[in-house]
Structure 1
């Protein structure tokens, strides 16, 4: 399967694009605003960080699982006619794919300045998609939802259990990942757990969420919005540094 990987892909993009602006709202359990509002604010913060204007945007990339749409966001921003847009499936680490899609679009000339963004209100339990699952499901979730594997942690827990069986993985190994993630998150001034480091004892004593995964194996369900601006390296060099 590795033979199908295009190992030259990154070389074709390397040194052709740059992230020139970032916009980030503080994470919260209840941000108290619609996601369309927070998405636009994060985008405008990112544009200001880059020294660009709304009308400079000609591309947009986001996740398809969110309730915002590129047309409505573009209208709110006053962007007249997007040249390119894309939506990425799933969630979690898929956010990084929005940047990759944007970079490919800029490098290939399909767009000049692309906004990548995500806004979500997931602090409340009722806002999470698995809280509204029904017995009748029509996609591949029919293989596991009726049997109680509703949340991502339920399914991933089975993968983790298999990994433990095949490779002798211990909970301490999972703990190293969680502790490192918390440590690096402390570099973000908006982090929900800023100033609350995680140690192995606390990790191991946490309650089970979806065996063998425990509380600190799971992400924090919060409200928030983020955006970044991807543009060509030539345009990036021409932007004034914002301090």
Structure 2
């Protein structure tokens, strides 16, 4: 499918530690309007959407936005959902399921919509139904538990060092330094900073973990011909 699909519009809201008084649907809709305007399209031109399932259900968002769709899908890849959703959109367009697909990611950390930590079992039903069985025992308070185990296994299998893992966190932060919408814009970190940050779930350090934040982004994918 190389060369058969293209991103024609993007929309991104500033990322904040917490946004009160806004719903996830509201944030995603605002990002969608920015992407549609950037592409020079109309809402009626969008006939497919892909959302990150842990943010919001695609059918719920489509109804909220008043979209008429031929393709509606949720992506459960969590942190890699951005790139994966674009690939899904390209595949769906190639298969003829839609012509113009909008990929949306993000959400709010409004305390009225639930949050992280012990209170995760309160608020709306989780997108992942396994959460109700995991949350009471702690692991669902964040991805750190699962990623800690995976990191430990990777170190065991391949001899990967803490320093090598820390470099990935440093590179990720570097990518955010000049992004005006990033939470950590202008705040670089070093390998030593990562290794000296507190241990969250051995062998995972605090600065290797995703910062809980609020915001939204959208991109529009269509065929190269269009």
**TM-score interval w.r.t. the shorter chain?**
0.7 to 0.9
Q: Post-superposition shift, 1:147?
A: 5.7
Give the one of 78, 85, 101 matched to 1:98: 85
1:29-178 correspondence to structure 2 within 5 Å: 29-32=17-20, 33-67=22-56, 69-79=57-67, 81-122=68-109, 126-128=114-116, 131-133=119-121, 139=130, 148-150=138-140, 151-178=142-169
Change (3 A) 1:44 1:146: closer
Q: What secondary structure does 2:139 align onto?
A: coil
Once residues 197 and 99 of structure 1 are traced to their aligned partners in structure 2, the CA distance between those partners, rounded to angstroms, is 29
Once residues 75 and 168 of structure 1 are traced to their aligned partners in structure 2, the CA distance between those partners, rounded to angstroms, is 49
Change (3 A) 1:192 1:170: same
My pick for the range that moved more, 169-178 or 81-90, is 81-90
Q: Post-superposition shift, 1:76?
A: 4.1
Once residues 198 and 149 of structure 1 are traced to their aligned partners in structure 2, the CA distance between those partners, rounded to angstroms, is 27
Once residues 141 and 178 of structure 1 are traced to their aligned partners in structure 2, the CA distance between those partners, rounded to angstroms, is 30
Change (3 A) 1:51 1:149: same
TM-score (norm 1): 0.80
Once residues 110 and 186 of structure 2 are traced to their aligned partners in structure 1, the CA distance between those partners, rounded to angstroms, is 20
Once residues 209 and 222 of structure 1 are traced to their aligned partners in structure 2, the CA distance between those partners, rounded to angstroms, is 18
Q: Post-superposition shift, 1:15?
A: 1.4
- Residues 3-38 of structure 1 show CA distances to partners (whole Å, capped at 9, x for unaligned) of xxxxxxxxxx11111000010000012222111111
Structure of higher CA gyration radius: 1
Once residues 131 and 12 of structure 2 are traced to their aligned partners in structure 1, the CA distance between those partners, rounded to angstroms, is 34
Q: List gaps (5 residues or longer) in structure 2.
A: 123-127
Q: What secondary structure does 2:225 align onto?
A: helix
Matched, 1:15 2:25: no
Q: Post-superposition shift, 1:223?
A: 0.5
Q: Post-superposition shift, 1:84?
A: 1.1
Is the contact made by 1:123 and 1:221 (CA closer than 8 Å) also made in structure 2? no
Change (3 A) 1:73 1:174: same
Is the contact made by 1:38 and 1:225 (CA closer than 8 Å) also made in structure 2? yes
Q: Post-superposition shift, 1:44?
A: 0.5
Count of residues paired in the alignment: 218
Once residues 44 and 60 of structure 2 are traced to their aligned partners in structure 1, the CA distance between those partners, rounded to angstroms, is 15
